[in-house]
Amino acid sequence: MPNGNGKIINMQNVHKVYDTGKVKVEALKGVNLKIQHGTFAAIIGPSGSGKSTLMNILGCLDVSTDGVYEFEGERVDGLHHNRLAEIRNEKVGFVFQNFNLLPYASALENVEMPLIFKGVHTKKRRERAAELLERVGLGHRLTHQAIELSGGEMQRVSIARALANNPSLILADEPTGNLDSKSGGEIIELFEELWQAGHTILIITHDVNIPKRTERVIRIKDGLLTEEANGNGNGNGGH
Ligand SMILES: Nc1ncnc2c1ncn2[C@@H]1O[C@H](COP(=O)(O)OP(=O)(O)OP(=O)(O)O)[C@@H](O)[C@H]1O
Ligand SMILES: [Mg+2]
């Protein structure tokens, strides 16, 4: 298994230009980013600064137009979209602001979804989904449909789903954006617990409470990154 010397992410001089035909938008202007396995980081920046563009490239949902991107030591820029999809499905768990759950499927069925694509046997995947839902504190809601759950509970289901394939990286885009501050705080706590259990987690956010809790705070502005030490004195750009 490629390891990238402990680095899960290594981006060098990554550019992204959107060419709409009429205008070209340079959304990323030479991003350098190294992230070690086991990191808990927040990526923050104003609207239009390139956060979602960066997340899409980090999660192999989109490709850069220039620069080098290595994921766990494997060069992924320039890969065919089929191989990118494989990497994404095997190695990245996504958490979105709008949860992206199947509304009429149960919590269990939602978490089983990635395991169905992977061809895991019914009994095994049901056990794994139940185990993950217990892990996120929803053992008592296994058979509820997604629409019967609160926002905070829905986000827990989507975090359990993101964990289903045991991904190397969890990428979250505004995971607390649709939650009240209490359930948002509980979701941040859950991410913190997952990080303490060894997961690598990157959160893109406007929520001022998240950078207070992460090890690293990465700022993006006009398509370029800067990094600063955060309140924990642990925001280390030197990885
Ligand atoms: N598909 C696209 N085609 C053309 N331009 C795009 C496209 N997607 C994003 N952009 C432009 O690229 C820049 C960065 O957009 P991006 O969505 O990455 O910002 P963001 O930081 O996620 O903003 P927000 O906080 O509002 O979600 C913006 O100027 C945006 O208009
Ligand atoms: Mg965005």
Phi, psi of 186, rounded to the nearest 5 degrees: -70, -35
Residues with CB under 6 A from ligand 1: 18, 20, 25, 27, 45, 47-53
Q: How far is the CA of 53 from the centre of ligand 1 (A)?
A: 6
Instruction: Give the pLDDT of the chain (239 residues) as one tens digit per residue.
Output: 556 788 999 999 999 999 999 999 999 999 999 999 999 999 999 999 999 999 999 999 999 999 999 999 999 998 999 999 999 999 999 999 999 999 999 999 999 999 998 899 999 999 999 999 999 999 999 999 999 999 999 999 999 999 999 999 999 999 999 999 999 999 999 999 999 999 999 999 988 899 999 999 999 999 999 876 554 444 344 44
| 100 touches 157 (CB < 8 A) | no
| Ligand 1, atom 5: closest residue by C-alpha | 18
CB contact set of 81 (below 8 Å; sequence gap of 6+): none
Strand, helix or coil at 187?
helix
211 near 40, Cβ under 8 Å? no
In this predicted structure, what is the pLDDT of residue 235? 39
Calpha distance 166→131 (Å, rounded): 13
The pLDDT value given to residue 3: 64
Q: Which of 31, 47, 53, 54 to mutate to test the pocket of ligand 1 (most atoms within 8 A of CB)?
A: 53
- Measure 71 CA to ligand 1 centroid, in angstroms: 23
What token pair was written down for 165? 């394939």
Name the residues around ion ligand 2, CB cutoff 5 A: 51-52
Residues 6+ apart with CB under 8 A from 187: 152, 155, 156, 159, 175, 176, 179
Q: In angstroms, what is the span from residue 50 Cα to ligand 1's centroid?
A: 6
Look up the CATH superfamily of 4-228: P-loop containing nucleotide triphosphate hydrolases (3.40.50.300)
The predicted pLDDT at position 78 comes to 86
Closest residue CA from atom 30 of ligand 1: 48
Residue 14: other Cβ atoms inside 10 A? 25
Q: What is d(CA 137, CA 151) in angstroms, rounded to the nearest whole number?
A: 14
Atom of ligand 1 nearest to the CA of 204: 22
Give nearest CA residue, ligand 1 atom 25: 47
Question: How far, in Å, CA of 202 to CA of 209, rounded?
Answer: 14
pTM for the complete prediction? 0.91
| Burial tier of 192 (Cβ tally within 10 Å: 0-12, 13-18, 19+) | middle
Nearest to 110 by CA among 58, 168, 61, 149: 149
Angle value at C-alpha 202, between 9 and 107, nearest 5 degrees: 120
Residue bearing the CA closest to ligand 1, atom 27: 47
Ligand 2 centroid distance, CA of 207 (Å): 13
The pLDDT tens digits for 51-71 are: 999 999 999 999 999 999 999
Distance of alpha carbon 153 from alpha carbon 137, whole angstroms: 9
Pocket test for ligand 1, best of 51, 63, 224 (most atoms within 8 A of CB): 51
